[in-house]
Chains A and B, each alone.
Chain A
Amino acid sequence: MGEMGGGILLPPNVRTLPPLRTELAVRLRHRVGALVIDVDFKLNERWAVLFGPSGSGKTTILKAIAGLLRPDEAHIACTVLTGSDLERTFVFVDTETGCFLPAYKRVVRLAPQQSALFPHLSIFENMMYGFHEMVRDEREKKARSNKIEKLLSDFQIAHLLDKYPAALSGGEAQRVNLARAVAATGCRLLMLDEPFSGLDVKLRDELIANLRERQEQRRMPVLSVTHDVAEAFQLGAEVIKIAEGKVVEQGPVEVVLAEERKRLLAQLGNSTSQNRDVERPI
């Protein structure tokens, strides 16, 4: 209690304490070619899934939240509650007031769908890129590299540490791409664009379990994108269903994707172990 008592006079270090609650409010109108994206939704520290067919504007929504594009009209803000009375709101973008926080100041991590590893840096250096402050302290350095080694071994790519991106297979690069976003210092929101596509089901399930654990520990909101019904169920997540740039429905996966699940089961036909098959489409 004595330690916590000091926190009232001196606010606890916002970076090291996981937030009690995080909320992200997104209101976005943006035109990309013929598609008009017009969405309005809120996220909390749970895992949310943007679900929709390709071309429905999911990636554009992620980019707008990350600050990688200037939306036509938007209000995107992140509210972080770190203590009972310490609430801070970070306005990412507000087109009415002309406020635009550049991507690098948002502390929002985005693992893009196409792995984008820095080709001139080793996997270890790629993983270190998200730690901006240089540290001279040897213990701190060791702690960082331990953290990275742990993360890579959780993702079953520890053996790649000293390799360069050109030597990696597509699946390996995809996992480094994910791990790098997870490793970065501080994170108000983690966004994963089709993170598990192309990975085999067993590995996918292990990655999901690991990421969920980390997400709960750090109490950070995660927003991932998928068009895979089974993946959404596996995540047991809040689903935001998108079609042609609009939010069709938002809610628990069992409710929002009930139709899709039924259709998938029908496709699978007279299977006996239905539950397992839901997770293994086709």
Chain B
Amino acid sequence: MDTQALWLTLRLALTTTALLLAIALPVAWWIASGTGAARALVQAVVALPLVLPPTVLGFYLLVALGPLTAPGRLIIRLLGHPLAFSFSGLVVGSVLYSLPFAVQPLVAGFRAVDTALLEVAATLGASPARAFRTITLPLARPSLVTAAVLTFTHTVGEFGVVLMLGGNIPGATRTLSIALYDQVQDFNYAAANRTAALLLAFSLATLIVVYWRGAERRSVLG
């Protein structure tokens, strides 16, 4: 078992989840709070990673973050090294890659909150920020958990973006799914089997928890 790859994968998934929730909360709130062309555009962009081959996203990021573009050169000057082929680069890629998995459950959760409750909150003197904090967020908590779990598991399972953007550097960018690929390339099927079984068990267990919680919630609410 490649424990270095395991820890790297967990660290990447945790960092991505934390960052992505911070980004997805305001984006999802904005999308859910109205309609219009601007929101449709943002939703389409957010949903792109669902349909785009991960290698396409990885390729564009590789180019964008490299020395060929102005933002890429700026990053290189600021950090002293390119973002590509580093852990930070992987975080950027993962955040974009898992964006829909965080934003979409949150949008659905926020939209499910009865507007009558928010209207009452306003007539009781609650500012939109207070109403969001005290009404919308607590009522949308299950979708917050779903968004976090899906982001985490999706990041654990990502392959294409990591391969394009991160390469295969042990301790920096070599995640479990890359390690598995390496093990197969080396005809080390026993090791590959363990890695694959670990990833499968982890994904299945998380999904069972998500659906279980969902079913319990529904039965409580009738």
Contacts and interface: CB of A to CB of B under 8 A. Distances in A.
A132 B125 contact: yes
A102 B122 contact: yes
Contacts of B128: 102, 104
A112 B125 contact: no
Interface string A122-142: 000000011010000000000
Contacts of B139: 119-120
B122 A112 contact: no
A103 B122 contact: yes
A104 B116 contact: no
B86 to A, nearest CB: 43
A66 to B, nearest CB: 5
B122 A104 contact: yes
Contact of B124 (A68, A120, A181): A181
Contacts of A130: 124-125
Contact of B122 (A67, A114, A180, A185): A67
Contacts of A199: none
B119 A112 contact: yes
Given A119-B139, A120-B139, A68 B127 contact: no
B145 to A, nearest CB: 15
Given A116-B114, A116-B116, A103 B123 contact: yes
A50 to B, nearest CB: 17
A273 to B, nearest CB: 40
B135 A118 contact: yes
Given A119-B139, A120-B138, A66 B123 contact: yes
A185 B125 CA distance: 9
B1 interface: no
A89 to B, nearest CB: 20
B119 A104 contact: no
B117 A103 contact: no
A109 interface: yes
Most chain B C-beta atoms within 10 Å of own C-beta, residue among A119, A180, A181, A185: A119
Contacts of B199: none
Interface string B104-125: 0000000000101101111111
Given A119-B139, A120-B138, A120-B139, A68 B117 contact: no
A184 B125 contact: yes
Nearest to A185: B125
A61 to B, nearest CB: 15
Contacts of A116: 114, 116-117, 119-120
B126 interface: yes
Interface in A89-129: 102-104, 106-110, 112, 114, 116, 118-120, 129
B140 to A, nearest CB: 10
A118 B117 contact: yes
B167 to A, nearest CB: 47
A259 B15 CA distance: 72
B124 A184 contact: yes
B117 A129 contact: no
B81 to A, nearest CB: 48
Contacts of A181: 123-124
A68 B138 contact: no
Interface of B: 114, 116-117, 119-128, 130-131, 134-135, 138-139
Interface of A: 63, 66-68, 102-104, 106-110, 112, 114, 116, 118-120, 129-130, 132, 180-181, 184-185
Given A104-B122, A104-B127, 8 more contacts: A66-B119, A66-B122, A103-B123, A104-B126, A109-B123, A110-B120, A181-B124, A185-B125
Which 5 A/B pairs are nearest by Cβ-Cβ distance?
Answer: A103-B122, A116-B116, A130-B124, A110-B123, A116-B120
12 contacts: A66-B122, A68-B119, A68-B123, A102-B128, A104-B126, A104-B128, A110-B123, A116-B117, A116-B120, A129-B124, A130-B125, A184-B125
